[in-house]
Amino acid sequence: MHSDPGRPWQLKELAKSVAMSRTTFALRFKTVAGVPPLTYLSNWRMRIAQRSLREGKTSMSALALSLGYTSESAFSNAFKRTIGMAPKRYRDAARAGGPLQDDGISSKAPRVEFADAPFVHQLAGILSRPGLHNHPIALREAVGKKVASNIP
């Protein structure tokens, strides 16, 4: 997810990459990350969008496409729902030095906590290792051991 946030990820594909059922993968991911996998992906995309809007000069439509949205409108709606303001307004506020929702949470959106961010990054690293997806048993063992060690 981290290496290709614009990819149209699906739970089935993520679970298959670690040789788990969708249910097992979703439950373990939520236990470790604190949110379901696709919610995590959406939040990750919004953090990338925030950084790009603050620091970059990428057009809104190019940013939307790079993050996997089919249109600027779809991206704008997701951004506003998550962050609490339209992306153009966010960019304008950043350029003017105004107040921003840097943590990705607006007063309207539910607060999302990442329970074990280092593990999620490690999990992303495991999932992105070249060729490891061709060895589902090794991948499942690597993920399973780390997940098991994070479950109270």
What are the sequence ranges of the domains in the chain? 11-101+114-150
pTM over 0.75: no
Provide the residue type at 132 as one letter. L
Cα separation of 36 and 112, whole Å? 11
pLDDT at 128: 53
Which residues make Cβ contacts (< 8 Å) with residue 75, sequence separation at least 6? Answer: 49, 60, 63, 64, 67, 69, 87
Q: Which CATH class is domain 11-101+114-150?
A: mainly alpha
Residue 21 has pLDDT above 80, yes or no: yes
Residue 57 has pLDDT above 60, yes or no: yes
Cα separation of 62 and 126, whole Å? 29
Q: What is the DSSP string of 60-101?
A: HHHHHHHTT-SSHHHHHHHHHHHHSS-HHHHHHHHHHT----
Per-residue pLDDT tens digits for 80-136: 999 999 999 999 988 888 666 554 444 333 344 444 455 555 565 555 555 544 444
Burial class (CB in 10 A: 0-12, 13-18, 19+), 34: middle
State the chain's mean pLDDT as an integer.
76
Residue 38 has pLDDT above 50, yes or no: yes
Per-residue pLDDT tens digits for 66-93: 999 999 999 999 999 999 999 999 999 8
- Find the Cα–Cα–Cα–Cα dihedral 68, 47, 4, 127, rounded to 10°: -130
pLDDT at 143: 52
Please tell me whether residue 6 adopts helix, strand or coil conformation: coil
